[in-house]
Structure 1
Amino acid sequence: MEILPHLKNCYILKVLSLVCCLFLPEVPAFSVSIDENEKERELVIRGNIKSVEGEAVPYATISVVGTVKGAYTDMNGEFQIYNLEDGTYTLKISAVGYKPIYREVEVRDGQIQELNLAFENHGAEMPQITVIANRDRIFSRVPGSVSYIDKKDIQQLAPISGNEALRRSPGVHVVDEEGLGMRVNIGIRGLDPSRSRSVLVMEDGVPVALAPYGEPEMYYTPAIDRMAGIEILKGSGQILYGPQTIGGVVNYITPNPPQEEEGSVFLQGGQGGLFSGLVNYGNTIGNTGVQVNLMKKRADNVGPTEFDITDFNTKLLFNMSDRSELGVKVGVYDEVSNSTYIGLNQVMYDHGGQDFTRLAPDDQLDVRRYSLSFSHRYKINENVKLRTIAYGYTTTRNWNRQDFAINPTNTPPNNWTGVVWGDREIPGGAIFMRDGTGNRMRQFEVAGFEPRLEASHNLFNRKNDLIVGTRFLYERAFEQRVNGTKAGVSSGDLVEDEVRTGHALSAYVQNKFNLTEKFVLSAGVRMENFNYERDINRRNFPEVGIRDTILVAGNTITEIIPGVGFNYSANPKVNVFGGIHKGYAPPRTKDAITAVGDVLDLDAEESWNYELGFRSDLKRWLFLEMTAFRMDFSNQIIPVAEAAGGIGFGVINAGATLHQGIESALVFDIGQLAGFSRLNLTYDINATYVQSTFSEDRFKGDVNINGNRTPYAPEWFINSALTLETNMGLGARLTANYVGDQFTDEVNSVVPSLDGRNGLMPSYFLMDANVFYNVDKWNSRFNLSVKNMFNERYIASRRPQGIRVGLPRFITMGYEFRF
């Protein structure tokens, strides 16, 4: 169903025009009319960066220390730096996996300085698995759409939620729940974002979902405060990972042990009692490196949310020999928050004044997570390496939620507390709070082991890179429900008790064929086998009541997932990529086996995914990437769990859906174009247009939903930023975010339901601002941030059970001291 498409498109054009007007100041005329001789005089330093083996190093970073000037090497390892005044400068050349290089250069009378350098291999690096590249995140060699959000970008956002950083990647739609990103909801290319079920989320190559196969919900999300970067992979290369290969892979990257002693203390405060403190320390002593961080984050009233989080992580790196490196990582996470499922009904939202009222003040969620991982790299010879990762973690998720009742006649339930929200004069417009509690106690155990062999070989007299690996994973979930007879109590009657167990085996192989110097073909295949079982010990049976029982049922799913991708370097400035791969996600164990032990014929979620795109440094001041994509589902599972706004149990095979569109990213270096020597001014924008529709006949009541849009899939979402940096250390960033309108159910209801859970979610446009000041002589950084600076009131979500209003204008201040 399309709502006034011509008016909506006009609105989108107005939004884009507004963004351009706000973010694209007029460039001085001289900047585009310089003759060739003047252009040549602007160039002051150029050079070539290679590895110790003599190979070009693309996308190495060249920084002019003490200024905002710098450059990246191109695919041939070449770089140019423009517009430096006469003087002596220190250049820092860095790339992941290499020791930084420092060189002094002198700029005099417009003479071009030539600089040709070779990296030395790093003494040791953390042997973790990343999803883009082992070394310098060489986007030019990746056969697919990728994004990397680095530490600098995160700092310039000054985020209070990791959602702000994820929106910096094209194709990624993130739905706020409590405004702080503690439970991230990621949808990629039009997929349903509920609990990030269609995305594989990892931290340093280790999955972080409750149970990656049987219950892939994100009730724990890595804190953006302690991250060094985020990798997002959406192309065919994701077939190496699993089990989810539907939407993409999101890998949070934490800092590695530094070569020399360093540390930092970061403090941030804001409205509603928000406080965030992060202490980092790292050093390498002899053959051992260590990186430790401790984060404390809390608030009394950010929107409706009160929380207290403690997050401790340690990384250890042991350089055991020239051939062998061992990494160890330990994590402890503890959260107490007043998170709740209940939201405003439509009557309350329309009346206003209660946007952040705590409807169920006794609701409480406790999350505790312990994690341990080992990563090892063994260099068999110059061409063959064995990487192994072993991990285990437990997550306890206990949620105490007060019961409530909604009915068309506004009849109070028998155990009503006397508290009512909404309007009793409107049929169905009231929420009655009940004097009872549902305590949902869940604990999850996950353990995995993955050896991976990486080899370079010369099949058919061509350079090839081979990856072969296997993955073993065990998961178990313990779930109980205890119904309390009073609001806020944690004890009561045990009404549900069950255990769900899964064993997964995965094997994969991928070979990268360097057919020519310019054309690379990657082909691979993965096999997934998942054996799962549901043991029900106690259950409330219809028309029988609560009974102890012995219900055991299980099933096995086996799938083959192929994929192929290519990368063609037409020239050092233009790179074309594309690929085809099969998308796969196993059904949740609770959905595939019913509460009475029946094994449903619930297929795995499957699709064929296609993409074709290019990335290009068209000019030294302009980068452009554009990707067309299509995801064709033979079967997509639309969740109807409570977290997804459904009735709380069961799903069915939802049938065929189709997701197709275009995502693009543009970076415009205005400072380079205008010839600024003392400041950088950069404008970037990523925009995604996607049509996500049901693509076969299927009826919901009397309505055929064929052609309807899938839930929570806006056609347009756009993120843009204008960033200013000066040699004085002062800088600022304006960020804009636009999200188009969204339907929240399969029949595409426009008129909101009285309970607030269904109905059109209107589009919204937000702007944030951040001012920062680096004082090098004090080793300090200050920042002042304003989120939602125009105080836009908007519906962020209608899930899980009612309307969530986005955070209003929110101001924070931060200070970082480095030592």
Structure 2
Amino acid sequence: FPTFDRITSVEVFKGPASIKYGPYTVGGAINLVTRPIPVDSSGGIDLEVGQEDFGKLYGHYGNSTERFGMLVEGVHLESSGFKDLDGGGDTGFDKNDATVKARVNSDPGDPVYQELELKLGYADEVSNESYLGLIDADFEATPYRRYAASQLDRFEWDRQQYQLSHYINWGANYDLTTTVYRHDFERVWGKLNGFETDDLTLNDIFADPDSAINSIFVDVLRGERDSLSDPETLVIGTNDREYYSQGVQLAGNWWPTLGRVEHNVELGLRYHEDQIVRRHTEDGFLMQSGRLVSDQGDTDITADETGSAEAIAVYVHDEFTLGKFTLSGGARTELIDTKLVDRLSGTTTDNSTNVLLPGAGVFYQMTPSFGLLAGVHKGFAPNAPGESDGADPEESINYEAGFRFTHDAWRAEVIGFYNDYSNLLGRCTFSSGCDEAQLDDEFNGGEADIVGAETSFGYEFSVDNGLHFPVSLVYTYTDAEFQNTFASDFSQFGGDDGVVVAGDKLPYLPAHQATLRLGVNGSTWEVNFSAKYTGEMRDSASQGDVDDVNQTDPQAIVDLAGSYNVTENGQVYIGALNVFDEADIVSRRPFGARPGRPRQFTIGYKYEF
């Protein structure tokens, strides 16, 4: 995920507006806007330290002249981690992220204005993180413990980005942006896959850790028992993957006046291709005196394949105003060809998908402060390369309606939504609890309904002494159910018995989410309070009451932050995350209970020039 220190703003596109972005159009789109090239010479530095040996160093500098501009920025993050590994060891991470931007442009006064911008990026990370969780009894005693069997878990990756953009503007009515891009990503993920036995999976062991047989394997995981037989040999999997994505995209705007109506027409065309090379292996290790030692056996190759895709996407979107009505609509078409070459089985699988994705919306400005909105669009998610076992693309019709209110310091928004899935698609990943043989398989979930509402309220009041008090509340309610009864090998759908029953709730989707923010701002300082609630989530599809061992905990997390401007350009800031040190189970997948982060205090200093 992009390093957020480099992000200056976030754009959210929901409902019909999301058809401009694809091919995934179900849940909307987010654009993380990175720091632009500044108009004048400017820069900054940000230093932060905190518990768990957390450290951050971020810096940026840029400048522009009439015909040229440039920006350089970089960030380094590190931590020793907040989990305690049995036998000792680092559970933290080191991450670096750097970007260079350069721009040349024509004379700003030219009737046809042009820009050419080059963007180069590099990032890497080494993370001593693990998917392995704890049995519930151990979680209750020491939630931030990590079993000795995870001591070799390690995730390494690096990424390169190359992007060249050309912008041209023909006066007041036309512009066109052409972007050529390339992304390279390599990762090696070594992690515990299980034991050298077909009779028991890690999921089986964590589901009943106190049985006579399973308790033996739990002791091996803890490092409290040596591996004494072949079934007690631990299997470490290494997922080695290389990705690239590249293409060219054209996005144009046209502002015509047709009759007496002014339109904002957007047109886009993109050619895209991407590829993934998977090389997955497994090796045996013995637990000996709390340390993992190679069993000197052969390395098993579990995956050796190349998946690729080529796609052409075209969209058109128009927005115009008639009196108090603002109407928008458009369509996107995707033509996707995929191929999977499996070198272990000697097979090649080709698939093609063509889809039309329309959408339309309306906003009615009833009063200067109050407006009504409604929209509908088709949602879509394509299959991954190689799917030939009957898995269909994900498709849905998504509806929304609500209102927006703004008046002086008040703002409010309430939007109800209904997502009518004709097919919900499940994807098997290691993090979702799938074994090595199922990785990247896809499963039909059939018809599903997701109904809910998103609400947000905000107000800022001031007092005579110059203090400002911003207040905001965001709440989301979601009710998501399967509408068919079917058998599924996907554990998040079918659970232990492999059956989904109509009316089952979708897993890992909380019914209630809420965030309350309160602030006090002076001329040179501010203090902010945030409280976030996330309801419990089912570990697999089910209905009715759920045992605690089959769901996550509800979470109520309070954060505090404050800052003080010590000089005109310098600022000291402090942060307290998870103030009350809540240790909740946030996930039970893939194996065992895992916590969120504990309480952490940080302090930092920013200087802008």
Aligned partner of 1:366 in structure 2 is 156
- Shift of residue 291 of structure 1? 1.5
Residues 357 and 776 from structure 1, CA distance in 2 versus in 1: closer, same or farther, beyond 3 angstroms? farther
Deviations 1:403-444 (A, max 9, x none): 433446654899x998433999xxxxxxx9744421110000
CA distance in 2, matches of 1:378, 1:354: 54
Matches within 5 A, 1:165-180: none
- Give the conservation status (yes or no) of the 8 Å contact 1:367–1:395: yes
- Shift of residue 623 of structure 1? 1.0
CA distance in 2, matches of 1:690, 1:444: 35
CA distance in 2, matches of 1:451, 1:353: 50
Residues 410 and 373 from structure 1, CA distance in 2 versus in 1: closer, same or farther, beyond 3 angstroms? farther
- Give the conservation status (yes or no) of the 8 Å contact 1:309–1:336: yes
Q: Is residue 429 of structure 2 the alignment partner of residue 641 of structure 1? A: yes
Q: Which residue of the other structure, out of 665, 669, 680, is the alignment partner of 2:468? A: 680
CA-based RMSD of the aligned residues comes to 2.5
CA distance in 2, matches of 1:583, 1:508: 14
CA distance in 2, matches of 1:422, 1:796: 25
Q: Is residue 313 of structure 2 the alignment partner of residue 514 of structure 1? A: no
Aligned partner of 2:565 in structure 1 is 774
- Give the conservation status (yes or no) of the 8 Å contact 1:642–1:801: no
Q: Which residue of the other structure, out of 582, 587, 591, is the alignment partner of 1:792? A: 582
Q: Is residue 62 of structure 2 the alignment partner of residue 255 of structure 1? A: no
Q: Which residue of the other structure, out of 792, 803, 809, is the alignment partner of 2:593? A: 803
CA distance in 2, matches of 1:433, 1:730: 58
Residues 360 and 703 from structure 1, CA distance in 2 versus in 1: closer, same or farther, beyond 3 angstroms? closer
CA distance in 2, matches of 1:417, 1:763: 27
Q: Is residue 108 of structure 2 the alignment partner of residue 317 of structure 1? A: no
Residues 482 and 264 from structure 1, CA distance in 2 versus in 1: closer, same or farther, beyond 3 angstroms? same
Deviations 1:219-276 (A, max 9, x none): xx00112210111221211101111101110111111111111111101111111101
- Give the conservation status (yes or no) of the 8 Å contact 1:347–1:423: no
CA distance in 2, matches of 1:582, 1:477: 28
Secondary structure of 2:52's partner?
helix
CA distance in 2, matches of 1:502, 1:677: 61
CA distance in 1, matches of 2:132, 2:327: 50
- Which moved further from structure 2: 729-738 or 349-358? 349-358
Amino acid in structure 2 at the alignment position of 1:734: F
Secondary structure of 2:539's partner?
coil
Residues 621 and 418 from structure 1, CA distance in 2 versus in 1: closer, same or farther, beyond 3 angstroms? closer
- Shift of residue 356 of structure 1? 4.9
Aligned partner of 2:170 in structure 1 is 380
Q: Which residue of the other structure, out of 62, 72, 75, is the alignment partner of 1:295? A: 75
- Give the conservation status (yes or no) of the 8 Å contact 2:338–2:384: no
Residues 810 and 570 from structure 1, CA distance in 2 versus in 1: closer, same or farther, beyond 3 angstroms? same
Deviations 1:468-515 (A, max 9, x none): 121111001111012234458899444421111110111111111322
Q: Is residue 20 of structure 2 the alignment partner of residue 240 of structure 1? A: yes
- Which moved further from structure 2: 265-274 or 402-411? 402-411
Residues 353 and 230 from structure 1, CA distance in 2 versus in 1: closer, same or farther, beyond 3 angstroms? closer
- Shift of residue 704 of structure 1? 5.3
Q: Is residue 448 of structure 2 the alignment partner of residue 657 of structure 1? A: yes
CA distance in 1, matches of 2:499, 2:184: 44
Structure 2 residues without counterparts, runs of 5 or longer? 85-90, 196-201, 226-230, 286-291, 488-493
CA distance in 2, matches of 1:267, 1:563: 45
Residues 688 and 378 from structure 1, CA distance in 2 versus in 1: closer, same or farther, beyond 3 angstroms? same
- Shift of residue 797 of structure 1? 1.4
Deviations 1:497-543 (A, max 9, x none): 11111101111111113223x211111011111100110112xxxxx
Amino acid in structure 2 at the alignment position of 1:530: I
- Shift of residue 677 of structure 1? 4.0
- Give the conservation status (yes or no) of the 8 Å contact 1:703–1:747: no
- Give the conservation status (yes or no) of the 8 Å contact 1:605–1:635: yes
CA distance in 2, matches of 1:420, 1:439: 18
- Shift of residue 303 of structure 1? 3.6
Secondary structure of 1:559's partner?
strand
- Shift of residue 463 of structure 1? 0.9
Deviations 1:325-376 (A, max 9, x none): 1221111001001122211122322444654556511111111000011222
Secondary structure of 1:676's partner?
coil
Q: Is residue 399 of structure 2 the alignment partner of residue 610 of structure 1? A: yes
Structure 1 residues without counterparts, runs of 5 or longer? 1-220, 425-431, 539-548, 593-598, 754-758
Aligned partner of 1:349 in structure 2 is 139
- Give the conservation status (yes or no) of the 8 Å contact 2:306–2:340: yes
Aligned partner of 2:307 in structure 1 is 500
Q: Is residue 607 of structure 2 the alignment partner of residue 812 of structure 1? A: no
- Give the conservation status (yes or no) of the 8 Å contact 1:418–1:433: no
- Give the conservation status (yes or no) of the 8 Å contact 1:402–1:434: no
CA distance in 2, matches of 1:570, 1:314: 46
CA distance in 2, matches of 1:736, 1:559: 42
- Shift of residue 708 of structure 1? 1.9
Amino acid in structure 2 at the alignment position of 1:469: G
Aligned partner of 2:289 in structure 1 is none
Deviations 1:612-668 (A, max 9, x none): 1222113x2211111111111010013332222234513321111111111111111
Aligned partner of 1:43 in structure 2 is none
Aligned partner of 1:735 in structure 2 is 530
- Give the conservation status (yes or no) of the 8 Å contact 1:630–1:658: yes
CA distance in 2, matches of 1:358, 1:771: 39
- Give the conservation status (yes or no) of the 8 Å contact 1:420–1:433: no
CA distance in 2, matches of 1:642, 1:808: 25
- Give the conservation status (yes or no) of the 8 Å contact 2:485–2:499: no
CA distance in 1, matches of 2:178, 2:63: 24
Aligned partner of 2:237 in structure 1 is 438
- Give the conservation status (yes or no) of the 8 Å contact 1:355–1:805: no
Amino acid in structure 1 at the alignment position of 2:539: T
- Give the conservation status (yes or no) of the 8 Å contact 1:440–1:481: yes
Residues 556 and 497 from structure 1, CA distance in 2 versus in 1: closer, same or farther, beyond 3 angstroms? same
Aligned partner of 1:111 in structure 2 is none
TM-score w.r.t. the length of structure 2 is 0.87
Q: Is residue 316 of structure 2 the alignment partner of residue 527 of structure 1? A: no
Aligned partner of 2:246 in structure 1 is 447
Residues 623 and 422 from structure 1, CA distance in 2 versus in 1: closer, same or farther, beyond 3 angstroms? farther
Deviations 1:561-599 (A, max 9, x none): 000011222232223222100001102225x1xxxxxx2
Q: Which residue of the other structure, out of 465, 471, 474, is the alignment partner of 2:270? A: 471
Residues 668 and 354 from structure 1, CA distance in 2 versus in 1: closer, same or farther, beyond 3 angstroms? closer
CA distance in 2, matches of 1:637, 1:458: 43
TM-score w.r.t. the length of structure 1 is 0.65
- Give the conservation status (yes or no) of the 8 Å contact 2:143–2:594: no
Secondary structure of 1:468's partner?
strand
Residues 633 and 267 from structure 1, CA distance in 2 versus in 1: closer, same or farther, beyond 3 angstroms? same
- Give the conservation status (yes or no) of the 8 Å contact 1:403–1:434: no
CA distance in 1, matches of 2:95, 2:45: 17
Matches within 5 A, 1:48-127: none
Q: Which residue of the other structure, out of 338, 343, 346, is the alignment partner of 1:537? A: 343
- Give the conservation status (yes or no) of the 8 Å contact 1:611–1:630: yes
- Misfit runs of 4+, over 6 Å: 488-491
Q: Is residue 482 of structure 2 the alignment partner of residue 690 of structure 1? A: no
Amino acid in structure 1 at the alignment position of 2:397: W
- Shift of residue 467 of structure 1? 1.3
Q: Is residue 410 of structure 2 the alignment partner of residue 626 of structure 1? A: no
Residues 246 and 353 from structure 1, CA distance in 2 versus in 1: closer, same or farther, beyond 3 angstroms? closer
CA distance in 1, matches of 2:166, 2:465: 45
Q: 1 or 2, which has the higher strand percentage?
A: 2
CA distance in 1, matches of 2:594, 2:405: 40
- Give the conservation status (yes or no) of the 8 Å contact 1:376–1:388: yes
Q: Is residue 357 of structure 2 the alignment partner of residue 561 of structure 1? A: yes
- Give the conservation status (yes or no) of the 8 Å contact 2:143–2:595: no
Aligned partner of 1:306 in structure 2 is 92
